Structure 1
């Protein structure tokens, strides 16, 4: 008997495997989700317990089952330890758009891993999900994320004033976007 349940899409890049996160990944995720530097611009307090991480994994499951998002665990090939996550949230199928987000263990910053993961997820979104627009919402003080997304071709469209309520109160966010035709014009798709 066959089932129609789709499997979670795995993405492979030169150095990385992007895969589904499971409860078995909670300890490796705790390492970076409890780091104040990693969490600084995520609008969340650093995680304090494995229960917090299990809540995050449960959220990944809920956005997938509700078809409002998908989040991949970032692993280095041959290591199979989750060192970050990347994916889409707030998918609006009717308008062919979504937001993208990423987090990464501090010990892997500056190695091109975030760029490699984001590029693969963007390609998946445009080619497999038929997206037209991918947005990134970034705090003005988060210069490294702004540079990261600009390197992928994202264009800053403007400042959304007091757009999001987080642990620090109301945050301003820059709206960045990448359109499918932007990638096609560069021959990256």
Structure 2
């Protein structure tokens, strides 16, 4: 992944296409990244203008280019509009592990979008990227995300107290993990 010339991989599921996010998607990202409910547990302030989402898009590009992550935009099949994202960050190649993160437009909450994307990205991580462990760091108040990762086989390992400093405060985070052998059982 560290090779800048490497082509960004698309993933297709039954209902969605996961693809590279580009500057042309800035308006789509703005729709959900400006929603306080969506970004509440992401450590981000709501986007105030479309240009604010370019920082997020540039971050997606930089982590892919330097091999520390990969973030897919989630689109419905036959529709180009990005309705969320899912992917890996803090990839530690020497330890065969990464963190996973995801968010979707509020209009799609509770409709299986995040779950279908998460399952596809987990499969890619274990099968294509060779991860042994995928972890998720989730705020204690984010019950919906905790339930989603547990539904996909993740185990809660413990609480990381004051683990991150975002938006002017220290955040506690639960550490969840899924091992390759456990994923194969799901």
TM-score (norm 2): 0.96
Match of 1:28, SS state, is helix
1:1-189 alignment runs, 5 A limit: 5-184=5-184, 186=185, 188=186
C-alpha distance in 1 between matches for 2:5 and 2:47: 32
CA displacement 1:167-187 (0-9 Å, x = unmatched) = 140000000000001112x1x
The secondary structure found in structure 1 opposite 2:183 is: helix
Structure 2 unaligned residues grouped into runs of 5+: none
Contact 1:100 1:134 in 2 (8 A): yes
Q: Give the TM-score normalised by the residue count of structure 1.
A: 0.95
Using the TM superposition, give the Cα deviation of residue 6 of structure 1 relative to its aligned residue in structure 2, in angstroms.
2.3
Cα offset for 1:5? 2.8
> Which string of whole-angstrom CA distances, capped at 9 and with x for unpartnered residues, describes residues 82-106 of structure 1?
0000000000000000000001000
Contact 1:73 1:82 in 2 (8 A): yes
Question: How many residues align structurally?
Answer: 183
Structure 1 contact 69–89 (Cα < 8 Å) conserved:
yes
CA RMSD between the two structures: 1.0
Mapped partners of 1:177, 1:183: distance in 2: 10
Give the match's secondary structure for 1:44.
coil
